[in-house]
Chain A
């Protein structure tokens, strides 16, 4: 029967090719979508974790882990560090003590814009360079850091510089303005491009506001106490430990998982339908051959198995085609955009299994229909 399967596949090259492409599309859809989602999340989480600061202080409301608008007054940094006292200018203010154990606080602005070529997105940090270097151990490996009084300067990390062929002195577009790259830093921390916070505030209209504060504690300070005091004296704000960021990302990944499951479902439907249509058409064409098999004494199980084997073989070829196309597409996308796509063996395996199972599933109805054909009618089929 194996030779009959191989002969059928060879005999109908167009049908075989279309079926393979259908399965391959499903595999590509899964591999690239999952790889893109996982890659971006992993990359962003890793860069968030590289910061030395132990606490991220955000305004109230919903937390967006990808980017936040400028809605937190920068003065919170001073208030947290030095406390708040009533004064003649502001007699209504509720006094707050300085939070003990804090070594440095740096305000950070975050802004998202579309990636190169309209694919993906890019996050820009607006930083106060002197205070930022106290909460993040970044080394300027080439050029210099951001200098006060130079609004249209930017620093980028080594990965960005390499991928975008950017060097010190190059110009990049941020917020529809040209910025000159003055330094390249390592390691990658938070976003890959950093501009002065005052410039971001000017361009976004958020004067004196930031997106969040990064808080670094003194050596030996009790992190839980500091967190508790921040929550006590600044209710309505979010106090997140940076060590918890991966877990928080995991929670935000739940929504991504739903999306990925939808993509997987779509891929299964595509592969199943393509194989179902291809095999159903084939069975119609081969009605007489099914009759011959029955006259030779082939059981229903034998007929179902032979059609399923053919579908699985076509699906396996489609999966192989899908792997090759996905790897090539990943290379092309990663080379021409700033997107990160994780291509992990386990996801290749899973997408391959999904492709083959979908193919087997799609062939089931045609196979059972073929097995149920009346032998005499099938033999007289023209």
Chain B
């Protein structure tokens, strides 16, 4: 009897504790407010390796000891899809495998050649030139999703700014920049930027005027969802090293003694090793310096053909035209611990802002002491109004006030609603990154006037792009913290009130979590030719519905429920189509696409090559008096920092085919394969924020007669993968 009961009791305990074991939840949830695939701290043109299109993978069997043998070709796309192709081959055999890239990005191609030495080539279908090639046993090709976000990019950057590799640790970097004591040392939390607790130390070399700043980042990651919260302030004030996650460092100095000073970025591990990648917002690693310069006013030029960090205009390699951000003390979080209060640190922060001011160009000499350290601008260097903003924070010229007060209002924002818009939207959510952008001769992007910001004239205003980036795609505000803050505030409604199309028919502000149909730019095509359309730029789309809504009845649409349907017509004329996408539960609003079909197009779209693009850039009269290359010429360093003339691009003393290839790569860098109509190569000559205005043959808005011949040539080249 006793045994029976004991066994029963044991069974009871086991039944309850094992059979009814509990799930462990933490209750922390990630709000689903970000569009799928959004990349923060990334340029709007992320330099995708491949555009949407048809490509050929060609592989040849060079040597095979035993034949025939099996091969396996595996293709992995950066959208996560993959496919494999198998077959057998023998020595000397070449196989061509067509593939379809449905979304702009990168690719990995793996060939299991069964021991054979093989060549492997990727190229645009129909083009003789190759995108990439290699050879060997089991050869592979990897093209990163974004050319400015890969390890090789960061390696090339450090090689450019630290050619002697003398700063590969924080200690070496500090030594190279003369750090003993700091000129100014502060601790705070940057509530509205990256959310870190930050321990900042800055100094300026009296002799050279070089500036160096290091910042230890403290991030408490123990509480899911609160990685950027107030605990980070406690951690930095307590110097709790377990939460010291990285150290960033910035220099304003030349690479070689006596050279042009520019801003350089480094990041180090907590133990002081230099990092190639860093994860600033918890959404994955990104390459240096892209993750920094995307919000420091920089430009990201892909690597050169030789694998070097690209040059911008006449600048030295490594100069990404980025700037040091000023510190808006009003937006920081301070501790109440003595020594770390705002009051205790205000003078030091002012000192740091003075150093930042020293790194900005001074267009003309002034009598004010704070400007004495500033250098004259170089080439077409950005000048902006940030220097004026810093001064205004401290009472204007002379910076008489000890305490920062952010009442800055650029003169281009006139009274009333505009100033309210500036205060509640532009200053908190846009200004930090945009104020440092632009060049001396084209600075619409700095948003220092209402017209530049919300102007509906696409030649000078950015209302159309704001609609795209904020309300459709959702990749701005550019930093995740800012993004979440923005969408938790009343700012979207304030902004939507001045941005056409940002409010739906029910009066609600559009949010980027909805499905958005993007059928690509209106285009001109050839009759009796298959034209592959693309919905790849759509947002939050998992299914697609294309429909012809106007034009001759002879037109056809093959695979209308696919991301890349085929349009064909035998009759010249104008056709209208619409695209509706669905996110799995909700239809998007229909988006229109206009196709103009022509019986004759010269050159034929599929045959357009870089030589045709170059010919337009260099030889066609794009204004009555000049060509593109008339301004964009390397002998004009005060002009735009993109050159269309033939010159020694790789610095080897020769002007030859190698330079022409680099010319091609430089132009390819002006294509945004993730948002084709936003490509500078299309937007600038068509009169959007172009110091040269609208050019002949690029009149997509029908402002000077509607001739868009050159635009269509450029566009069809890009849509065909921009073959060389």
A binds B: no
Interfacial residues, chain A to chain B (CB-CB below 8 A): none
Interfacial residues, chain B to chain A (CB-CB below 8 A): none
